[in-house]
Amino acid sequence: MLKGRHLLDPTDFSPGELDEIFDFADLIIQSPAQFNHLCDSSILATLFYEPSTRTRFSFEAAMLRLGGSVVGFSEPTSSSVAKGESVADTIRTVACYADIIVMRHPKEGAPRIASQYSPVPVINAGDGGHLHPTQTLTDLLTIRSVKHQLTGLTIGCCGDLKFGRTVHSLIKAASRYPDNRFVLISPKELRVPDYVTADLTAKGIAYQEVERLDEVIGDLDILYMTRVQKERFFNEDDYVRLKDVYILNAEKMRLARKDMIVMHPLPRVGEIAYDVDSDPRAYYFKQAKFGMFVRMALISKLLGAS
Amino acid sequence: MLKGRHLLDPTDFSPGELDEIFDFADLIIQSPAQFNHLCDSSILATLFYEPSTRTRFSFEAAMLRLGGSVVGFSEPTSSSVAKGESVADTIRTVACYADIIVMRHPKEGAPRIASQYSPVPVINAGDGGHLHPTQTLTDLLTIRSVKHQLTGLTIGCCGDLKFGRTVHSLIKAASRYPDNRFVLISPKELRVPDYVTADLTAKGIAYQEVERLDEVIGDLDILYMTRVQKERFFNEDDYVRLKDVYILNAEKMRLARKDMIVMHPLPRVGEIAYDVDSDPRAYYFKQAKFGMFVRMALISKLLGAS
Amino acid sequence: MLKGRHLLDPTDFSPGELDEIFDFADLIIQSPAQFNHLCDSSILATLFYEPSTRTRFSFEAAMLRLGGSVVGFSEPTSSSVAKGESVADTIRTVACYADIIVMRHPKEGAPRIASQYSPVPVINAGDGGHLHPTQTLTDLLTIRSVKHQLTGLTIGCCGDLKFGRTVHSLIKAASRYPDNRFVLISPKELRVPDYVTADLTAKGIAYQEVERLDEVIGDLDILYMTRVQKERFFNEDDYVRLKDVYILNAEKMRLARKDMIVMHPLPRVGEIAYDVDSDPRAYYFKQAKFGMFVRMALISKLLGAS
């Protein structure tokens, strides 16, 4: 039963509950017009205390395509925060106006606090460098749609694996399905944190850490590229030195399998060359579309509309 | 006849006209889904030259729950103001696109000027420290809904009574109903302006000014708490010294009547302790919900939709 | 066939195609309620990398009055641009969520790049000082509606003719219809660029350049006034010296024909005195309304909804 639930962490929902969402997303993908009025007269509030056009648009388009409507802010400056109000109070007020709330916040844990005070479902749309569960749902739905399964896959994650929360969440989420293995491709300075590998070891899940993309790309079912996020670096020099190390291009794509797919949470800033865009294995823009569909399914389920 | 009217001052409408709005709000509260399409195809413009998430959300949710839609801005920087346009010209242009306009402006009187040029209804959503009539309508509807009357009440107003426009408007509006009396609780530095008490005296309405909340809380039907607004103070020291003087907490609530209700225009920044939130007499979040319903009724009436 | 097309330059569409849009706009003007659901379930994305309340409201109201909905941003600060994303990537992502995209951008050519990557129609809502085609469509529809023709007119353009892109576009667009002539009224410093007059000469179209409005106003069918845009000037002194030179007022209006109409793209900042507003020949606010209707027609046609 997903009605009335919050989504704060990518593993808040069981694999069975995720299947319920993904199955419904599949229905929507097959005939979106059928669901144009599913959430008529419902209101989504988008509280973005940190700007993110992409994520906000995806949620808003999802709600609008279900017939619902949206109130929101896209930057903290125009919010009551300036008047010193607590998240708890803001959320209880917004819940007077809206039926479901999406929150992005620079502080880890803010959406969890919000959920503790909210009488309506709260979706975490990113809290600092911490969690971004709907990105993980997007990733899983994309893989499931293309590979027709979430098991037995070799998943490569490439780039900034230290600060990239989407990768941490994807590894955690994909670890719940049997027989997946992970290939972690990054410079030593940007390896996944120890707790991630410790968790994989504890669960007996196979993984390897490598430094060169070209040596392993041929083994992969999924190549998940990540942006080198300038804002996560402590100094400019490190950023400049490392940002271009792991660039995927048409040349490297020649080493990959015919059925490997390239994913990326976007935005990219150079880590995938433009000559990859026309490759049929490039899935990052399709992935953005899956993101809208999975959010349509999620909103419908949390509102109890389906 | 409210169709086509503007709402600039809380007393623009007669008590009879307010009853018409409140009666309609009651109908909406009883079965909101019945009014989901009342204002289909109408557009509300929200012109916020000063940010106010709460008020903006309330108006926008009200319009959306009537089936209408919204265009707007939430900060002046993104408006044509930057190009030196007058309010008169802005409003005549916006009236080409929208059927009803809500304006918040830092300058007193700006909404009145707007109304003089607008062919569509203009609602003042706050002009500087001056007026905020829909807050007063919210307060009156809340009291009417809980107390089943707007007469014969002892209304306590506590906190910053000097700069708090919501209190001035509430006193003025509640003075139009018979047999209400006011208890004005504030430090000497933040008493209501002289014109407020002079007006009460002239009308023969009972009031008392006191300095301690605990001494009078037992007499009250309504306790209207107000935020100590930092932005109204001339210096930081005065703010720090006074802001925590009049804090309502569970201990003081023990002195109050069983049927007293606590109201607050929100946001609060400490003047009501969190331990009051679970008290059934705490009405400030319900009040926010009444705010949305009264705006639904108001918009419907001004558009002539009901 | 306009379905799926982009609108980047005012002359992207042939006069015949423009007639198709204007004819449809006429139908909408006659009975707007009939088209309230024409674009139900479609989403317009408004990407304003440069703020413009007026233009954004006009597009959003147009889409809402067709039953569609809107996602968007009104300033670049809240966009993914801050993360270093290219226009090409932004547009491919936004096209996952929206069915049609409106873009205003400070850089010339940005909307054209967007269109090259977009699977959905892109409308240029202004790129720097370059083009603003829907303003031109607005101007043409206004003239056509009032004069019942787009031929044989004497069109006066007054003010800043050097930097005013709306005038350049209007001259170019009106030049495609037979027997129009242009009277270009400006100080020497702000004359139209040479390429504009060269183009008129090459096409054998009559024009004259004059310095005084009062000497020619009696000859005009249309007087198109323009704002002296402070942001186009290189220094403050020039702006102050020139901005008030060509002010239209009631006195000058007495010299004009009874059927001349005054147009202005708005906002004005003094170049039309307020005493002109009540003159029945003042069409600048009606023009804004035509702007919404022509955008309704344009969106409908590009979406293939009509």
Number of continuous H segments (helices) and E segments (strands) in chain A: 11, 9
Q: Place B158 in a pLDDT band, splitting at 50, 70 and 90.
A: very high
Q: Does A277 touch chain B (CB under 8 A)?
A: no
Establish how many alpha carbons lie within 13 A of residue A157's alpha carbon, considering only the half-sphere containing its beta carbon. Answer: 28
Angle at A54 (CA atoms; ends A51, A56), nearest 5 degrees: 65
User: What is the CATH classification number for the domain harbouring B42?
Assistant: 3.40.50.1370
Average pLDDT, stretch B101-130? 94
Does residue B269 form part of some domain? yes
Return the pLDDT at C242.
66
Return the pLDDT at B78.
52
Does the pLDDT at position A228 exceed 80? no
Q: Return the closest-CA partner of residue B85 out of C284, C169, C135, C123.
A: C284
Does residue A30 form part of some domain? no
Cα A23 to Cα C220: distance, rounded to the nearest angstrom: 66
Test the C interface: residue of A44, A53, A278 with most C CBs within 10 Å:
A53
Peptide bond into B32 cis (omega under 30): no
Q: Does residue A103 sit in the same domain as residue A138? A: no
Q: Does B119 touch chain C (CB under 8 A)?
A: no
Provide the CA C43 distance to its chain's centre, in angstroms.
23
Q: Using DSSP bridges, classify how beta strands A154-158 and A69-73 pair: parallel, antiparallel or unpaired.
A: unpaired
Residue pair A276/A253 in contact (Cβ under 8 Å)? The answer is: yes
Q: Does residue C177 sit in the same domain as residue C191? A: yes
Cα A103 to Cα C174: distance, rounded to the nearest angstrom: 50
Question: How far is the CA of B199 from the CAs of A209, A273, B164, B206, in angstroms?
Answer: 78, 73, 17, 11
Torsion of CA A227, A231, A232, A234, to 10 degrees: 130
Q: Is A254 annotated as a binding residue?
A: no
Size of interface A-B (CB pairs under 8 A): 73
Q: Is C242 annotated as a binding residue?
A: no
Does residue A199 form part of some domain? yes
Q: Place C144 in a pLDDT band, splitting at 50, 70 and 90.
A: very high
Q: Does residue C196 sit in the same domain as residue C277? A: yes
Does the pLDDT at position B189 exceed 70? yes
Average pLDDT, stretch B246-267? 95
Does C83 contact A269 at a Cβ distance shorter than 8 Å?
A: yes
Element (DSSP H or E) covering residue C91 = helix C87-97
Residue pair B37/B67 in contact (Cβ under 8 Å)? The answer is: yes
Domain around A207: 134-288
Q: What is the pLDDT of residues C87-128, one digit of tens each?
A: 999 999 999 999 999 999 999 999 999 999 999 999 999 998
Does the pLDDT at position B291 exceed 80? yes
Structure tokens at A215: 């040596």
Residue pair B190/B160 in contact (Cβ under 8 Å)? The answer is: yes
Peptide bond into A267 cis (omega under 30): yes
Q: Does residue C110 sit in the same domain as residue C152? A: no
Question: How far is the CA of A285 from the CAs of A54, A291, C111, in angstroms?
Answer: 12, 10, 20
Does C85 contact A268 at a Cβ distance shorter than 8 Å?
A: yes
Cα A144 to Cα A129: distance, rounded to the nearest angstrom: 26
Query: Which residues sit opposite C47 in a β-bridge?
Result: C73, C103
Does the pLDDT at position A35 exceed 70? yes
Does the pLDDT at position B84 exceed 90? no
Residue keyed to tokens 């005493």: C275
Q: Does residue B54 sit in the same domain as residue B176? A: no
Does the pLDDT at position C184 exceed 60? yes
Does residue B17 form part of some domain? no
Q: Does residue A182 sit in the same domain as residue A258? A: yes
Q: Using DSSP bridges, classify how beta strands C207-210 and C181-185 pair: parallel, antiparallel or unpaired.
A: parallel
Q: What is the 3-state secondary structure (H, E, C) of B199-243?
A: HHHHHCCCEEEECCHHHHHHHCCEEEECCCCHHHCCCHHHHHHHC
- Strands of the sheet containing A43-48, edge to edge, are A69-73, A43-48, A100-105, A122-127
Return the pLDDT at B82.
56
Cα C5 to Cα A207: distance, rounded to the nearest angstrom: 49
Task: Please give the residue of chain B at the shortest CA–CA distance from A95.
Answer: B289
Angle at C249 (CA atoms; ends C248, C250), nearest 5 degrees: 140
Q: Using DSSP bridges, classify how beta strands B222-225 and B154-158 pair: parallel, antiparallel or unpaired.
A: parallel
Test the A interface: residue of C97, C99, C101, C116 with most A CBs within 10 Å:
C97
Ramachandran quadrant class, A162 (left: phi over 0; alpha: psi -120 to 50; beta: rest): alpha
Q: Look at residues B131, B155, B182 and tell me which one is the last residue of a structural domain.
A: B131
Q: Place C60 in a pLDDT band, splitting at 50, 70 and 90.
A: very high
Does residue C126 form part of some domain? yes
Does C85 contact A291 at a Cβ distance shorter than 8 Å?
A: no
Ramachandran quadrant class, A52 (left: phi over 0; alpha: psi -120 to 50; beta: rest): beta
Q: What is the pLDDT of residues A243-286, one digit of tens each?
A: 666 889 999 999 999 999 999 999 988 899 999 999 999 999 99
Q: Does residue C89 sit in the same domain as residue C118? A: yes
Q: Place A81 in a pLDDT band, splitting at 50, 70 and 90.
A: low
Average pLDDT, stretch B72-93? 78
Query: Which residues sit opposite A265 in a β-bridge?
Result: none
Return the pLDDT at A83.
62
Does residue A212 form part of some domain? yes
3-state secondary structure of C227: coil
Q: Place C163 in a pLDDT band, splitting at 50, 70 and 90.
A: confident
Return the pLDDT at A77.
65
Q: Does residue B60 sit in the same domain as residue B184? A: no
Return the pLDDT at C63.
98
Q: What are phi and psi of A17, to 5 degrees?
A: -70, -40
* ipTM attached to this prediction: 0.93
Q: Look at residues B114, B131, B148 and tell me which one is the last residue of a structural domain.
A: B131
Test the C interface: residue of A28, A42, A54 with most C CBs within 10 Å:
A54
Return the pLDDT at C78.
52
Does the pLDDT at position C24 exceed 90? yes
Cα C157 to Cα C208: distance, rounded to the nearest angstrom: 11
Q: Is B266 annotated as a binding residue?
A: yes
Count of CB atoms situated within 10 Å of the CB of B119: 10
Q: Does residue C76 sit in the same domain as residue C166? A: no
Q: Using DSSP bridges, classify how beta strands B181-185 and B207-210 pair: parallel, antiparallel or unpaired.
A: parallel
Instruction: Using CB atoms within 10 Å of the CB of residue C109, give its burial: 0 to 12 exposed, 13 to 18 middle, 19+ buried.
Output: middle
> Which of B36, B74, B266 has the CB atom closest to A41's CB atom?
B36
Residue pair C153/C221 in contact (Cβ under 8 Å)? The answer is: yes
Contacts of C254 (CB under 8 A, 6+ apart): none
Q: Does residue A173 sit in the same domain as residue A115? A: no
Average pLDDT, stretch B22-26? 98
Contacts of A241 (CB under 8 A, 6+ apart): none
Return the pLDDT at C233.
64
Q: Return the closest-CA partner of residue C122 out of C303, C305, C288.
A: C303
Q: Return the closest-CA partner of residue C123 out of C38, C33, C27, C21.
A: C21
Does the pLDDT at position A242 exceed 80? no
> Which of A69, A80, A94 has the CB atom closest to B64's CB atom?
A69
Q: Using DSSP bridges, classify how beta strands A181-185 and A207-210 pair: parallel, antiparallel or unpaired.
A: parallel
Partners of chain C (3+ Cβ pairs below 8 A): A, B
Number of structural domains chain C divides into = 2
Does the pLDDT at position A78 exceed 80? no
Q: Does residue A150 sit in the same domain as residue A277? A: yes
Return the pLDDT at A13.
98
Q: Does residue B267 sit in the same domain as residue B147? A: yes
Question: How far is the CA of C120 from the CAs of A292, C44, C63, C87, C299, in angstroms?
Answer: 17, 10, 15, 15, 12
Does residue A86 form part of some domain? yes
Cα B89 to Cα A84: distance, rounded to the nearest angstrom: 35
Instruction: Using CB atoms within 10 Å of the CB of residue C57, give its burial: 0 to 12 exposed, 13 to 18 middle, 19+ buried.
Output: buried
Average pLDDT, stretch A20-49? 97
Q: Place C183 in a pLDDT band, splitting at 50, 70 and 90.
A: very high
- Strands of the sheet containing B69-73, edge to edge, are B69-73, B43-48, B100-105, B122-127
Of residues A79 and A132, more confidence is placed in A132
Q: Does C247 touch chain B (CB under 8 A)?
A: no
Q: Place A66 in a pLDDT band, splitting at 50, 70 and 90.
A: very high
Query: Which residues sit opposite A45 in a β-bridge?
Result: A71, A101
Does the pLDDT at position C56 exceed 90? yes
Q: Does A1 touch chain B (CB under 8 A)?
A: no
Listed in sequence order, the DSSP H helices in chain B are 15-30, 53-65, 87-97, 110-117, 133-147, 165-174, 194-203, 213-216, 236-242, 250-253, 284-303
Task: Please give the residue of chain B at the shortest CA–CA distance from C265.
Answer: B93
Residue pair B153/B180 in contact (Cβ under 8 Å)? The answer is: yes
Peptide bond into C76 cis (omega under 30): no
Q: What are phi and psi of A122, to 5 degrees?
A: -115, 130
Q: Does B33 touch chain A (CB under 8 A)?
A: yes
Does residue A191 form part of some domain? yes
Mean pLDDT check: name the lowest of A253-267, B9-23, C131-145, C215-229: C215-229
Chain B residues within an 8 Å CB radius of A85 = 266-269
Q: Look at residues A100, A131, A162 and tell me which one is the last residue of a structural domain.
A: A131
Q: What is the pLDDT of residues A145-180, one digit of tens each?
A: 999 999 999 999 999 899 888 999 999 999 999 999
